[in-house]
Amino acid sequence: MRAADPASLHTLAGTSMGTHWRVRVDNPQYLPLEAIRSAIEESLDDVVRHMSHWAADSTLTRFNHAAAGTWHPLPAALDAVLHAGLHWAGQSGGAFDPTLGALVAAWGFGPHAPQHPADWRPASTAAIAQAQACSGWQRLQHHPQRGWHQPGGLHLDLSGIAKGHAVDAVLLRLHALGLPNALVEIGGELRSSGQRPDGQPWRVAIAPIAATAKQMPDAPPSAIALRDCAIATSGDLYHRHQWEGRSYSHTLDPRTGTPIDNDLSSVTVLHAECLHADALATLLTVLGPEAGWAFAEEHGIAALLTSPAASRCTSAWKAHLSTPH
C-alpha cells in the first residue's frame, strides 16, 4: 500500500448535457491533467452525439425521424441503454418508458419548452392522446441482426437514464487510463470507484431530508460513504410549471400521459451502476411514495423516498448504511 499523498487528488470540472460535471481523481502517476480532461470530455461528447434529444444530428434524433418500418443498427452504448430502459419498463409496468419523446413535446418540456416560461401551457387532451398513440415501450422492438425497429412516429427520450450512463462511461474511461480511484458527478448523479488517497471512502451528500423526518431517531444521514457504488436522485420540487393556480411536475407518468401528482420531494437510489440508479430514481418517483417503496422493497433496491412530511428508506438502503466502509 502506497503512502497517502494528498497532492495526487485532483478535481476537474466542466459542462455537458446542459449541466455541470465534476471529477475527483487520485492521480498518483501524475498523468497530465489535460489528457485526463480530454478523455472525460470525449466520453461525454460520445453520449451527446448518440443520445441527445436536443441535438438535431444525434443518433437518437435521426432514429426518431426515420421512416416507418425501418430497422437501425445502433452503437453498442446506445444499445445497452435502450435494453436497460426496456428492462425497467417491463418490470414496472411502464412506470419507466424510454419512448416518451412525443409526450415530452406535447407538454412543452425539454427541448420543446417555450423561450419564456410564462408562455408555457398544459397539453390538451387531444395532444396527449395523439402522443400516446405513437408512444409506448412495447412498440420498441429489437432484432439481433437488424437492430432497432422504427414503427413510425416513435420518439425516444433518454433523459431519465442517459445521464447515469454518462457517469458510468466517464468512470470506465478513467479506468482505461489506469486511474481506478475516482468520484464522477454529472448533474448531481455520482459513481465512485476505489478510495481517496488517504484510504478513506468517497463521501457524498444526499438529497435534503424532510424537516420533520430529521427529528426521527432513525433519520437518514445527510452524507454517506460511497465505495464502488452509484447514487442518483430524482425530483423536481423546485423545477415546476405554473398555470392557472396549479403546479405541474416536469416528470411525466408514461401510463397516464400526464405529469405525476404525488407528494414525493425526491427519490435517491444506490446501485452498482449509475445507469440503473438513474432509471430507478425516475421510476420510483413516478410510482409514488407507497407503490414506489413497495417496488423497491420487492426488487431489493436501496432507496430513500422523501416527502415534505417524512423520509422512508428501504431495507437495502439500511443494509448499505450498516455495512462498514
pLDDT for the residue numbered 3: 54
Query: Rounded to 5 degrees, what angle do the CA atoms 200, 204, 205 make?
Result: 145
Spatial separation of the C-alpha atoms in residues 77 and 275, rounded to whole Å: 11
| Closest to 154 in 3D by CA, of 66, 59, 283 | 66
* pLDDT confidence tier of residue 4, bands split at 50, 70 and 90: low
Element (H, E) at 235: none
What's the first-to-final CA gap in the chain, in angstroms? 18
Which residue, chain included where needed, has cell 401528482?
Answer: 261
3-state SS record for 139-191: HCEEECCCEEEECCCCCCCCCCCHHHHHHHHHHHHHHHCCCCCEEEEECCEEE
On the question of pLDDT at 174 being above 90, the answer is yes
- C-alpha distances (whole Å) from 162 to each of 43, 82, 151, 275, 324 are 12, 10, 22, 7, 31
Q: Amino acid letter at 44?
A: L
- What percent of the chain shows pLDDT beyond 90? 78
| Closest to 106 in 3D by CA, of 254, 246, 228, 265 | 254
Mean predicted confidence (pLDDT) in 66-95: 98
pLDDT for the residue numbered 82: 99
On the question of pLDDT at 9 being above 90, the answer is yes
- The SS3 of residue 31 is coil
CB 1 within 8 A of CB 192: no
Name which of 104-118, 163-177, 291-305 the model is least confident about: 104-118
C-alpha grid cell, residue 59: 443518433
CB 36 within 8 A of CB 46: no
* pLDDT confidence tier of residue 119, bands split at 50, 70 and 90: confident
Which residue, chain included where needed, has cell 409496468?
Answer: 93
pLDDT for the residue numbered 220: 54
Maximum Cα interatomic distance, the chain, rounded to a whole number of Å = 66
- The SS3 of residue 83 is helix
What is the per-residue pLDDT across 143-166, written as a single tens digit (0 to 9) for each?
Answer: 999 999 999 999 999 999 999 999
Which residue, chain included where needed, has cell 462498514?
Answer: 324
What single DSSP character describes residue 53? S
What is the per-residue pLDDT across 201-259, written as a single tens digit (0 to 9) for each?
Answer: 999 988 654 444 444 444 555 789 998 999 999 986 656 778 877 888 989 999 999 99
Residues whose CB falls within 8 Å of the CB of residue 131, separated by 6 or more in sequence, listed in order? 102, 103, 105, 106, 123, 257
Structural domains of the chain, ranges and CATH numbers in brackets: 64-150 (1.10.3980.10), 201-325 (3.10.520.10)
Spatial separation of the C-alpha atoms in residues 81 and 77, rounded to whole Å: 6
Q: Amino acid letter at 140?
A: L
Instruction: Determine phi and psi for 222, rounding to 5 degrees.
Output: -85, -10
On the question of pLDDT at 324 being above 90, the answer is no
The residues with which 241 forms a beta bridge, in sequence order, are 248
pTM given for the model: 0.92
